[in-house]
Amino acid sequence: MVVAAGATPVSSRELIRRLLGAGLRRRKAEALRPRRAGQSLVRARRLSPGDTVAVVAPAGPVPADRLDAGLAVLRSWGLEVRELPGTRGRYEPLDYLAADDASRAADLMAAWCDPDVAAVFCARGGYGVQRMVDLLDWDALAAAGPKVLIGFSDVTALHQAFGARLGASTIHGPVVTSLGSGDDESRAHLRAMLFDPGQAMTLTPEPVEVLLPGRAEGVLVGGNVALLSADVGTRTSVPAEGAIAVVEDVDEDLYRLDRMLTHLLRAGWFDGVRGIAVGQLTGCGTPESLRGLVRDRLVPLGVPTLFGVPTGHADRNLAFPTGVPAVLDADRGMLALREPALL
């Protein structure tokens, strides 16, 4: 609380909002602007109980029961939750979308640019972010940020875009519909990352399998393989140069996963990568076949490589921040942050 003599008390957040509204500029290091691949991205401030967060549906329609269960989790954390208008919608001409592209983009813009909103949670993935991402007003988003953006799967396209166009760090982690059904450790890890990020530095609570030993340092980049592959060649693709790539996917035939990894390799997305953390490849093949594919496609890159990191489409889905320095210690089967996800 900040109080001057004879003045009405206001919170520190309200004071910052008023100063920014009056034209106070952020320090250059905190300004949202594009950065080179491998550089640290701008982190938002951590959350506190009482903060207002927004929920949007940037991709597919959202099952109401799973949404309500996830919203209950957010409220149990002491957050004030706002649903944007399209969160419970379905676009009838294309019923795999929550709303038309312009409406979904407008909801995300409204949530991010609201000065009272500290974080934007994506309700679910599915498909649709790539259809609307080029409708976003990047200048307006840059002026409003940095803020916290949370989601995974199709939301990988937003993580890539916010990194490429804004230089903003985001959190690859559970969507709202998975908060009510995921495991306790995933919820606890995300909550710690948001409210007490110094307590969420380890991304491998237990050692995972090592496919190529060694040690690597770099910022984290990546997400869903299908979305990373589809983003190549666009203005919103962030390559793995100078970074540790974290990759995951779900329900892809082994040959399709092979094709997408091969496309990323041929396109140069992995050029200059420092380390690779393979997350959950749920429903993509047997452990033996997946291990064989990673050995064939990624291990020849010659960088430290982990297999089975607990992030992705599984009950255990530990959040990780993009654009934040980390250490991949493949001699010990560990991946950990060097700096907290949020300030």
Residue 52 β-bridge partners: 80, 117
* CB 132 within 8 Å of CB 94: no
Pairwise CA distance, residues 330 & 326, whole Å: 13
> What are the structural domains of the chain?
52-198 (3.40.50.10740), 209-337 (3.50.30.60)
- Among 130, 97, 321, smallest CA distance to 223 is for 321
pLDDT at 3 over 80: no
Cα–Cα distance measured from residue 185 to residue 188, given in angstroms and rounded to the nearest whole number: 5
Residue 23 has a pLDDT of 42
Residues of the chain above pLDDT 90, percent:
90
Task: Categorize the per-residue pLDDT at 13 as very low, low, confident or very high, splitting at 50, 70 and 90.
Answer: very low
Q: Is the Cβ–Cβ distance between 326 and 338 less than 8 Å?
A: yes
Q: For position 8, what pLDDT does the model report? A: 59
The pLDDT assigned to 14 comes to 53
What pLDDT does 242 receive?
A: 98
Instruction: Give the pLDDT mean for 216-235.
Output: 98
Q: Name residue 246's amino acid.
A: V
Strand bridging mode 117-122 / 215-224: unpaired
Element (H, E) at 194: helix 184-195
Confirm if 124 and 175 have CB atoms less than 8 A apart: yes
d(CA 231, CA 281): 19
Model pLDDT for residues 122-159, shown as the tens digit of each residue: 999 999 999 999 999 999 999 998 999 999 999 999 99
Between CA 334 and CA 328 the distance in angstroms is 6
Task: Record the pTM.
Answer: 0.92
**Which structure tokens are listed for 146?**
């940095």
Average pLDDT for 78-84: 98
Q: What is the predicted pLDDT for the residue at 9?
A: 61
Give the mean model confidence (pLDDT) for residues 153-171: 98
The helix/strand/coil state of 220 is strand
Catalytic residues: 153, 248, 313
pLDDT of residue 18: 46
Residue 202 per-residue DSSP state: B
Q: What average pLDDT is seen over the chain? A: 93
Average pLDDT over residues 296-310: 98
Q: Report, as an integer, the average pLDDT of 59-64.
A: 98
Q: Beta partners for 276?
A: 245, 305
The tens digit of pLDDT for each residue in 97-115 reads: 999 999 999 999 999 999 9
pLDDT at 30: 72
Whether residue 212 contacts residue 299, with contact meaning beta carbons closer than 8 Å, is answered with yes
**Residue 224 confidence (pLDDT) above 90:** yes
The residue written with tokens 């080029």 in the block is: 134
> Which pLDDT score is estimated for 2?
44
Q: What confidence tier does 237 reach under pLDDT thresholds 50, 70, 90?
A: very high
How many beta carbons lie within 10 A of that of residue 72, not counting itself? 12
- Does the pLDDT at position 182 exceed 90? no
Residue 326 Ramachandran class (φ > 0 left, ψ -120 to 50 alpha, else beta)? beta
The arithmetic mean of pLDDT across residues 293-306, rounded, is 98
Q: Which residue has the higher pLDDT, 159 or 24?
A: 159
> Sorting pLDDT into bands at 50, 70 and 90, what band is 201?
very high
Query: Rounded to an integer, what distance in angstroms lies between the CA atom of residue 111 and that of residue 278?
Result: 32
Which regions of 251-333 does DSSP assign to beta strands (E)? 275-282, 305-307, 320-321, 325-329
Cβ proximity of 331 and 215 under 8 Å: yes
Count Cβ atoms below 10 Å from residue 182 Cβ, excluding itself.
21
Spatial CB neighbours of 62, under 8 Å, sequence gap ≥ 6? 87, 88, 98, 123, 124, 176, 177
Q: In what order do the strands lie in the sheet with 80-83?
A: 80-83, 52-56, 117-122, 148-151, 171-172, 320-321
Please name the amino acid found at residue 228. L
Model confidence at 21: pLDDT above 50: no
Question: What is the mean pLDDT of the segment spanning 87-95?
Answer: 98
